[in-house]
């Protein structure tokens, strides 16, 4: 399919149009071999030696994702999103100053607090939705990395990526964007100036809640990217070939799944925005969301499948609604074909900054009517619990 100028939808649906040269198979085989034959002259036909460094099945997933993200430097799969995220931080050196979004996936914040600081990183947490705060936090010539997630877990703040990239680049820092939630279907950070993109491929990229994987992508092949490559090769935080193969299969339907989830999330958000059991619906697609105008400019074709609701009846109402759902599954994670609901502050633990009246919803691809009906019943149950118990509105 080279030279045909095909759209990302076509390329990804056909797994780049690659046909297995040995069998003619349209669906790629899984390459399980951990080692590759050396020729008599000491060379390796295709450059692969050992699968901690290179594996044909990883490479297929990596080619697809690099194409989707427009990542000229390439893509590296990791064994999880956290392995991918921490590879970027661990490619820095002790003393490096990094600016990190205050609202972000809690696992990254926890890792930075537990290990990033002892690794010697000088971490400043800032509200990256506030450009003045970002500007004040970046130290020209000293800050090495700005780390952003948008929409950001679990309250879905929006960061203006192009503006943050301009601020960071003017000060000599690179920008890494966790693009797990919007996926390249809805946001392409490299086109907006980002240097690195990170994914938990466990979520939308695979899309079926049955693979743990991650990825880092780079806008260009530079020494920092080589360092991340070397980190993976020597550190070995790679997925198994079967996970990589499942990821290839999952990504073939990425556009369909993300477009559907995003459309349904928008319908759910609009439907419940004024519901009396709720004090707020947090979704960047709602004009009432503070980041809506930036999201409308920056996101392409939708606002994503994630939203959160805050219960007017507080934590007790949140627990009652959680207990009452039947179609939504009570489980952590996001981006699968099935809709999930979770009480985020309990999942994150006692140090969580998330309000205890908040429920996070990952909208799947089910009938949106079924999802709305399920939530209606759950919110009614929560209202009767809250009025019965006199739960405080906190
Ligand atoms: C936005 C985001 N980034 C990174 C991660 C970590 O990914 P994993 O669970 O694959 O390690 C998650 C997991 O929930 C996430 O939601």
- Residue 2 falls in the annotated catalytic set: no
pLDDT at 388: 57
- Residue 178 falls in the annotated catalytic set: yes
Is 288 a residue whose pLDDT tops 50? yes
- Residue 135 falls in the annotated catalytic set: no
Give, for ligand 1, the residue of 79, 85, 88, 107 to mutate: max count of ligand atoms closer than 8 Å to Cβ.
Answer: 107
Per domain, the residue ranges of the chain are 8-251, 255-388
Is 370 a residue whose pLDDT tops 70? yes
Per DSSP, helices labelled H in the chain are 8-13, 56-69, 81-90, 106-111, 131-137, 161-170, 183-186, 223-235, 241-251, 254-272, 292-298, 314-324, 344-348, 368-389
Q: Whose CA is nearest to atom 7 of ligand 1?
A: 81
Q: Stretch 95-114: mean pLDDT, rounded?
A: 96
The atom of ligand 1 lying closest to the CA of 202 is 10
pLDDT at 238: 98
The atom of ligand 1 lying closest to the CA of 108 is 4
| Long-range interactions of 290-293: CB distance < 8 A, separation 24+ | 290/129, 290/157, 290/158, 291/129, 291/150, 291/151, 291/156, 291/157, 291/158, 291/159, 292/158
Q: Whose CA is nearest to atom 12 of ligand 1?
A: 200
DSSP tag of 342: E
pLDDT at 3: 55
Q: CA 87 to CA 62: how far, in whole Å?
A: 16
Average model confidence (pLDDT) for the chain?
Answer: 96
Query: What CATH architecture applies to the domain 8-251?
Result: 3-Layer(aba) Sandwich (3.40)
pLDDT band at 188 (very low <50, low <70, confident <90, very high): very high
Question: How close is the Cα of 82 to the center of ligand 1, in Å?
Answer: 6
Question: How close is the Cα of 174 to the center of ligand 1, in Å?
Answer: 21
Q: Stretch 85-101: mean pLDDT, rounded?
A: 97
Topology classification of domain 255-388:
3.90.1150
Kindly state if the Cβ of 362 falls inside 6 Å of ligand 1. Answer: no
pTM of the model: 0.96
Q: Whose CA is nearest to atom 14 of ligand 1?
A: 333
Q: Stretch 327-345: mean pLDDT, rounded?
A: 98
Q: Stretch 12-19: mean pLDDT, rounded?
A: 96
pLDDT band at 84 (very low <50, low <70, confident <90, very high): very high
Buried residues in 153-188 as b, exposed as e (16+ CB within 10 A): bbbbbbbbbebbbebbeebebbbbbbbbbbbbbbbb
- Residue 150 sits at φ, ψ, to 5 deg, of -155, 130
Is 385 a residue whose pLDDT tops 90? no
pLDDT at 121: 97
Kindly state if the Cβ of 80 falls inside 6 Å of ligand 1. Answer: yes
Is 264 a residue whose pLDDT tops 50? yes
Q: Stretch 76-81: mean pLDDT, rounded?
A: 98
Annotated active-site residue in 58, 96, 174, 178: 178
Q: Of 60, 61, 59, 112, nearest to 85 (Cα)?
A: 112
pLDDT at 4: 78
pLDDT at 329: 98
pLDDT at 297: 98
- In the chain, % of residues over pLDDT 70: 97
- Residue 329 falls in the annotated catalytic set: no
Annotated active-site residue in 58, 105, 204, 283: 105
Assess whether the region 8-251 and the region 255-388 belong to the same CATH fold.
Answer: no
Q: What is the pLDDT of residues 108-152, one digit of tens each?
A: 999 999 999 998 999 999 999 999 999 999 999 999 999 999 999
By the 8 A CB rule, do 144 and 195 touch?
Answer: no
Q: Stretch 305-322: mean pLDDT, rounded?
A: 97
Q: Of 318, 386, 327, 303, nearest to 357 (Cα)?
A: 318
Q: Whose CA is nearest to atom 10 of ligand 1?
A: 81
Question: Which residues, other chains included, contact 333 with Cβ-Cβ below 8 Å and sequence gap of 6+?
Answer: 202, 203, 209, 340, 362
Give, for ligand 1, the residue of 202, 333, 335 to mutate: max count of ligand atoms closer than 8 Å to Cβ.
Answer: 202
The atom of ligand 1 lying closest to the CA of 333 is 14
Give, for ligand 1, the residue of 200, 211, 217, 244 to mutate: max count of ligand atoms closer than 8 Å to Cβ.
Answer: 200
Is 394 a residue whose pLDDT tops 60? no
């Amino acid at each position: 399919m080279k030279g045909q100028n095909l759209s990302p939808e076509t390329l990804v649906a056909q797994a780049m149009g690659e046909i297995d040269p040995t069998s003619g198979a349209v669906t790629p085989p899984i390459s399980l071999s951990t080692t590759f034959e050396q020729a008599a002259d000491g060379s390796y036909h295709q450059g692969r030696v050992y699968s901690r460094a290179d594996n044909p099945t990883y490479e297929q997933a990596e080619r697809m994702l690099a194409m989707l993200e427009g990542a000229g430097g390439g893509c590296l799969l990791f064994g999880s999103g956290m392995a991918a995220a921490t590879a970027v931080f661990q490619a820095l050196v002790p003393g490096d100053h990094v600016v990190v979004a205050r609202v972000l996936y809690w696992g990254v914040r926890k890792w930075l607090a537990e290990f990033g600081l002892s690794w010697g990183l000088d971490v400043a947490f800032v509200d990256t939705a506030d450009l003045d705060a970002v500007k004040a936090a970046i130290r020209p010539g000293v800050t090495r990395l700005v780390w952003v997630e948008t929409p950001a877990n679990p309250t879905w703040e929006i960061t203006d990526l192009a503006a943050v990239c301009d601020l960071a680049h003017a000060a000599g820092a690179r920008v890494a964007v966790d693009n797990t939630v919007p996926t390249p279907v809805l946001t392409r950070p490299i086109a907006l100036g980002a240097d690195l993109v990170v994914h938990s491929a466990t979520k939308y990229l695979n899309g079926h809640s049955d693979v743990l994987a991650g990825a880092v992508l780079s806008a260009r092949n530079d020494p920092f990217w080589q360092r991340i490559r070397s980190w993976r090769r020597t550190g070995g935080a790679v997925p198994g070939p079967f996970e990589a193969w499942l990821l290839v299969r999952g990504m073939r339907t990425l556009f369909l799944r993300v477009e559907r989830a995003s459309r349904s999330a928008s319908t759910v958000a609009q439907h419940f925005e004024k519901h009396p059991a709720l004090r707020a619906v947090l979704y960047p697609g709602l004009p009432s969301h503070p980041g809506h105008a930036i999201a409308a400019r920056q996101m392409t074709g939708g606002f994503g499948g994630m939203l959160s609701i805050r219960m007017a009846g507080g934590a007790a109402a949140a627990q009652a609604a959680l207990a009452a759902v039947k179609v939504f599954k009570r489980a952590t994670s996001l981006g699968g074909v099935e809709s999930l609901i979770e009480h985020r502050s309990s999942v994150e633990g006692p140090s969580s900054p998330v309000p205890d009246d908040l429920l996070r919803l990952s909208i799947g691809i089910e009938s949106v009517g079924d999802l709305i009906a399920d939530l209606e019943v759950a919110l009614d149950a929560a209202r009767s619990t809250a009025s019965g118990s006199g739960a405080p509105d906190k």
